[in-house]
Chains A and B, each alone.
Chain A
Amino acid sequence: MLLIPCPHCGPRAQTEFSYERTVDSVVQPGGDPTEAMEHLFTRANPRGPDEEIWRHTYGCRAWLIMTRHRATHAIEAMRAVGPEALP
Chain B
Amino acid sequence: MSRYSALGLLRGVFNGQSHWQPAWRDPEPKPNYDVIIIGGGGHGLATAYYLASVHGIRNVAVLEKGWIGGGNTGRNTTLVRSNYRLPQLHNFFEFGLKMWERLSDELNYNIMFSPRGALMLGHSDSDMVRLAERGDAMRVNDIDAELLSRDQVAKLEPLLDMSREARFPIEGGLIQRRGGTARHDAVAWGYARAADQLGVDIIQKCEVTGFLRQGDAVVGVETTRGAIGAGRVGICVAGHSGHVAAMAGLKLPVESQTLQALVTEGVKPMINGVIMSQSLHCYISQSDKGGIVMGGDPDNWPSYAQRGQPMVTEGAIAQAIALVPALSRLRMLRTWAGVTDMSFDGSPIIGTTPVPNLFLNGGWCYGGFKATPASGWTYAHTLATGTPHELNAPFDLDRFRRGDTIDENGVGPMPNHR
Q: Which residues of A contact B (CB under 8 A)?
A: 1, 14-15, 19, 21-22, 37-38, 40-47, 50, 52, 70-73
Interface-forming stretch among B103-111, B119-127, B238-246? B238-246
- List residues of chain B with CB within 8 A of the CB of A44: 242, 246, 251
Q: How many residues of B contact A (CB 8 A)?
A: 25
Q: Is B369 an interface residue (CB 8 A)?
A: no
Complex CA gap A37/B253 in Å reads 10
Complex CA gap A47/B302 in Å reads 10
- List residues of chain A with CB within 8 A of the CB of B252: 42-43, 45
The answer on a CB contact under 8 Å between B243 and A45 is yes
- List residues of chain B with CB within 8 A of the CB of A47: 240, 242-243, 256, 304
- Rounded to whole Å, the gap between the CB of A66 and the closest CB of chain B is 10
Q: Is B300 an interface residue (CB 8 A)?
A: yes
- List residues of chain A with CB within 8 A of the CB of B267: none
- Rounded to whole Å, the gap between the CB of B73 and the closest CB of chain A is 20
Known: A44-B246, A45-B256, A47-B240. Contact between A14 and B311, CB under 8 A?
Answer: yes
Partner among B243, B305, B311, B401 whose Cβ is within 8 Å of the Cβ of A73:
B305
The answer on a CB contact under 8 Å between A45 and B302 is yes
- List residues of chain B with CB within 8 A of the CB of A38: 251
Question: What residue in chain A is nearest B343 (Cβ atoms)?
Answer: A41
- List residues of chain B with CB within 8 A of the CB of A40: 344, 413
Question: What residue in chain B is nearest A50 (Cβ atoms)?
Answer: B302
Complex CA gap A45/B311 in Å reads 24
Partner among B246, B300, B309, B344 whose Cβ is within 8 Å of the Cβ of A46:
B246
Complex CA gap A20/B6 in Å reads 55
Most chain B CB within a 10 A radius of its CB, from A15, A21, A45, A73: A45
The answer on a CB contact under 8 Å between A70 and B414 is no
Interchain residue pairs with CB less than 8 A apart (30): A1-B309, A1-B311, A14-B309, A22-B255, A22-B302, A37-B400, A38-B251, A41-B344, A42-B252, A42-B253, A42-B400, A43-B253, A43-B254, A43-B415, A44-B242, A44-B246, A44-B251, A45-B242, A45-B243, A45-B255, A46-B243, A46-B246, A47-B240, A47-B242, A50-B302, A70-B256, A70-B302, A71-B304, A72-B305, A73-B305
- Rounded to whole Å, the gap between the CB of A65 and the closest CB of chain B is 14
Q: Is B14 an interface residue (CB 8 A)?
A: no
- List residues of chain A with CB within 8 A of the CB of B246: 44-46
Complex CA gap A50/B256 in Å reads 12
- List residues of chain A with CB within 8 A of the CB of B256: 45, 47, 70
- List residues of chain B with CB within 8 A of the CB of A73: 303, 305
- List residues of chain B with CB within 8 A of the CB of A50: 302
